Structure 1
Amino acid sequence: MFATLALVMVVAIVGSLPAARSGIRLPLVLGELLAGIVVGASGLGWVDPGEPTLDAVAQVGFALVMFVAGTHVPVRDTRLRPALWRGIGRAALVGAVAVPAGIGLARLFDAPHAALFAVLLASSSAALVLPIVDASGIGGREVLPLLVQVAVADTVCIVALPLVIAPPEALRAGLGSIAVIACAAVVFVGLRQLDRTGMQRRVHDVSKDRKLAVELRVSLAVLFGLGALAVWTHVSVMLAGFALGLAVAAVGEPRRLTGQLFAVTEGFFAPVFYIWIGASIDVRVLWEHPSRIGLGLALGAVAVLVHLTPRATGQPVALGALSATQLGIPLAAVAIGLAGGLLSTADAAALVLGALVTIVGAAIAAAAATPRRPDVADP
């Protein structure tokens, strides 16, 4: 167990090197996914994704990644209100265009996954887009509608995914999604009450003075509880993480908790999850099924094109391409599809390839949208 985790963390360090280079800032997750592919089933075979401990840690990592993504959504920002309907309208426009595009791709590549393709094409990744916007310093009046659009698309597609990937389980998954969202709403009400009565501040002060990390422990306990409910109802843990993150963001996340979550997630659990996903995908099957290479490239390219349609409403091209970034939805589809025998290994690899195409597109779009800093002359 420890040898496997040590190897995974070394691989994670190596995978982070491309993101450290100057120029186009490649998302950290891209290097980690590629590193996982190299050491996993597709390459050297050093990492066994079926190892129980690694699988369990990776699932925790997925929930934490989505939890952190949810906390990054600026729910309390009053500036979002004027941008609310514009962002929702753009998400709806993308969703409407994604339906015929998904059907067309399914027919073109003879794949029985038209509804799944539509959800993938309509999805965005708050886990990637929000950090990219922060790190790149992208500003302007169109950024807030972009954040709303991404958050709405991510939330809707998270709920829709289990319904379209396994139609026979749609009723159970739908009820499970409602249950998870309802529990997250109860958590929000409880946190808001604690905040209003001053109890949250008192607990925060005691935790800080005595170094108890109470807020982190409570957050993890609730997250794992929601994750257990999601697994029991055949819903992805990504919904549990994202819904809880939104609830915490709506009340206001303490800075100390923000730092603790960042350290726990980005330092350990997230790299394990991304490398585990990369190691799980056997990209060699793509060479045996060339049409799936075309499918993966088409999924990525069409996703970008679909997300460029809000250009008609005034959205800049770079921000439209950035909103096409996919991560959680394709990875959840692969995890659910492979575990339930709902996706072939070739189709699963195609979904990951499509996601990688959108991530590369996001890196290029972020470079184009990043404001240029004037050169400072030497004194």
Structure 2
Amino acid sequence: MAIDNFVLSLCLILLFGRVLGEAFKRLQLPAVVGEILAGILIGPSLLGWIAPHETLSVMAELGVILLLFSIGCETSIKHLYQAGNSAIGVALLGIALPAGVIGLVCLFYLELPGFTALYLGCALTATSIGVSVRVMAQAKRSQSREGHIILGAAVIDDIAGVILLSLLFNFANSGDISLLSSGLLILKIGAFLFLAPPLARLLLYLFRAVRPREKETGYEAIVTMILICLFAWLAHALHAPALLGGFVVGLALSRQFVSPLNRYLQNPFSFTHEMEVESKPLVDIFAPIFFVYVGISLDLSQIDLGWTGIFTLLMLSLLAIATKALAGLNVPGSLRSKAIVGSAMVPRGEVGLVFAEMGLQMEIISPKLFTELVVIIAITTLAGPLLLKWALARDGK
């Protein structure tokens, strides 16, 4: 891509993504939907100002790595333990129902190939942490029992989604998925998730020790990017998605980071806080590029606007919403608590979009299925906060 086309494309992506994202936020709707619509508007589907390109795709991938980093910064391992068995039960049901029901519908009703049907089912298993947690925080319920269960289940969903994505990625490349290779892959990802955050934490102490005494503007942001790029490369070297590297660095920066090292080393709260604050503009710039690029990658002409096509799209969207909402049945207590947790599990958000994009790149799903999958993810991302607000309002009454 020539430099003039690149800078103009980047200008339009940032401008339209910001404008439509802010417009949706003012309407109390998820900004991610507005950013996807911005990509549809300036992409080949409507105005045709920007076409998909490898350079923009790489920037979009960097954006999602930074997005998972910001999610990691908000994640607390303690909350996972506090939620206990309820979070695990909600997460497992929220994975099994969409993968099983949607996979079977795609296999028998849509008559898709077995692996494609499985991939579509797995693509709709992950829950967007950011969307639901933001709604809970606005309602001042993030520290409630339901809030802990939602966060814990969403974390498990995201980790399980990453593992599923890695397994499917390896199967698509090799055409085989033996128990031994699958076990080794899960072991490597588990070891990476377990060992990488403490290792990143140790590197934080090293960078803090060599920090210049003068107030060096940008030092914390540079250190953050060094760690994110290093662990993203390491995750890719272990045959895991690179975005997992951003997530573990975010965990290392979290103020609620838990490690035996805390007994011997003073928590670097001031330094990690500065790193998080300094890197926030990077996340704000690059993360929307991913969502806008997803919209640019869409080809709405692929959607079947006949009665059969519209019925199929609506049916899959309703199944995607219902199978996640039913996961709230595992929550002990009143029906209102079940409704709150179930509604919060509905938005698919960023991890589902990663599934869609990688499935398209690996040619597991066609451009038509990619477009339909992203539309379904957008519908769930829009419906989830609306259902959650309704459930919280009912709970308040």
Q: TM-score band (shorter)?
A: 0.7 to 0.9
- Choose 223-232 or 86-95, whichever is displaced more: 223-232
Pick from 224, 227, 236 the counterpart of residue 219 of structure 1. Answer: 224
Letter in 2 for 1:320: G
Q: Runs (4+) of structure 1 moved beyond 6 Å?
A: none
> Kindly tell me: are residues 96 and 6 of structure 1, through their superposed partners in 2, closer, same or farther at Cα, counting changes over 3 Å?
closer
Q: Distance in 2 between matches of 1:17 and 1:263?
A: 16
Residue equivalent to 2:340:
318
Give the superposition deviation at 1:269: 0.2
What SS class does the counterpart of residue 283 from structure 2 fall into?
helix
Could you tell me how far apart the structure 1 residues matched to 2:172 and 2:249 are?
27
**2:132 is the alignment partner of 1:123:** no
Q: May I ask how many residue pairs the two structures share in their alignment? A: 363
Matched, 1:298 2:315: yes
Distance in 2, Cα, partners of 1:194 & 1:121: 35
Q: CA RMSD in A?
A: 3.1
Of the candidates 325, 334, 350, which is equivalent to residue 308 of structure 1?
325
Q: What secondary structure sits across from 1:287 in the alignment?
A: coil
Q: 1:243 to 1:6 in 2, by over 3 A?
A: same
Query: Residue 76 and residue 231 in structure 1: after superposition, are their counterparts in 2 closer, same or farther (change >3 A)?
Result: same
Q: Does 1:153 align with 2:170?
A: no
Q: Would the aligned equivalents of 1:185 and 1:247 in 2 still touch at CA under 8 Å? A: no
> How far is 1:317 from its partner?
1.2
Q: Distance in 1 between matches of 2:63 and 2:299?
A: 21
Distance 1:348 1:234, change over 3 A: farther
Among 291, 295, 303, the residue aligned to 1:286: 303
Structure 1 pair 100–188 and aligned structure 2 pair: CA distance change class (3 A) = closer
How far does residue 211 in structure 1 lie from its aligned partner after superposition? 2.3
Flag structure 2 segments of 5+ consecutive residues without an equivalent: 1-5, 259-266
Cα drift, residue 370 of structure 1: 5.0
Please state how far the C-alpha of 1:210 moved relative to its aligned partner.
1.6
Distance 1:42 1:159, change over 3 A: same
Closer/same/farther in 2, CA of residues 192 and 235 from structure 1, 3 Å limit: closer
- Residue 110 of structure 1 aligns with an amino acid whose one-letter code is E
SS in 2 for 1:301: helix
**Distance in 1 between residues matched to 2:160 and 2:63, nearest whole Å:** 21
1:265 aligned partner: 283
Q: Is the CA contact 1:227–1:240 (under 8 Å) kept in the aligned structure 2?
A: yes
Match of 2:57 among 44, 51, 55: 55
Alpha-carbon distance in 2 for matches of 1:218, 1:179: 26
**Secondary structure of residue in 1 paired with 2:150:** helix
SS at match of 1:336: helix
Q: What is the aligned partner in structure 2 of residue 167 from structure 1?
A: 171
Distance 1:326 1:179 in 2: 26
Of 75, 78, 94, the residue aligned with 1:73 is 75
Distance in structure 1 (CA, Å) of the matches to 2:58 and 2:296: 15
Which of 369, 372, 377 in structure 2 is aligned with 1:347? 369
List per-residue Cα deviations over 1:228-247 (Å, max 9, x = no partner): 34455664333332233334
1:45 aligns with 2:52: no
Structure 2 CA distance for partners of 1:180 and 1:152, relative to 1, 3 Å: closer
Distance 1:212 1:14 in 2: 29
Whole-angstrom CA distance in 2 between matches of 1:179 and 1:13: 38
TM-score, normalisation: structure 1: 0.84
CA contact 2:125–2:348 (8 Å) conserved in 1:
no
2:7 corresponds to which residue?
A: 2
- Alpha carbons of structure 1 residues 221 and 200: separation in structure 2 relative to 1, 3 Å: closer
| 2:167–2:185 Cα contact (<8 Å) kept | no
- Report if the CA contact (8 A) 1:319-1:365 is conserved: no
Cα distance, 1:361–1:207 mapped onto 2, change above 3 Å: farther
Distance 1:20 1:326, change over 3 A: closer
**Match for residue 32 of structure 2 among 29, 34, 39:** 29
Deviation readout 1:196-216 (Å, 9 max, x if unpaired):
xx767656xx46852254443
Q: Which moved more, 1:165-174 or 1:356-365?
A: 165-174
Cα deviation digits, residues 168-199 of structure 1 (max 9, x gap): 4365787667546544544322344567xx76
1:123 is displaced (CA, Å) by 1.7
Q: Which one-letter code corresponds to 2:148 in the other structure?
A: L
Aligned partner letter, 1:40: G
Between the aligned partners of 2:58 and 2:120, the Cα distance in structure 1 is 28
Q: Could you tell me which residue of structure 1 aligns to residue 147 of structure 2?
A: 143
Q: Distance in 2 between matches of 1:215 and 1:2?
A: 27
The CA deviation string for residues 97-154 of structure 1, in whole angstroms up to 9 with x for no partner, is 3343133321222222332233234321124333333344334321101110111011
The separation in 2 between residues aligned to 1:49 and 1:273, in whole angstroms, is 12
CA contact (8 A) 1:68 1:127 kept: no
Q: Decide whether the 8 Å contact of 2:83 with 2:152 is kept in 1.
A: yes
How far off is 1:359 after superposition?
0.8
**Sequence identity, in percent?**
23
The residue identity in structure 2 corresponding to 1:102 is I
Aligned to 2:262: none
Instruction: Give the secondary structure class of the aligned counterpart of 1:26.
Output: coil
1:90 paired to 2:90: yes
Residue pair 1:163, 1:174 contacting (<8 A) in 2 also: no
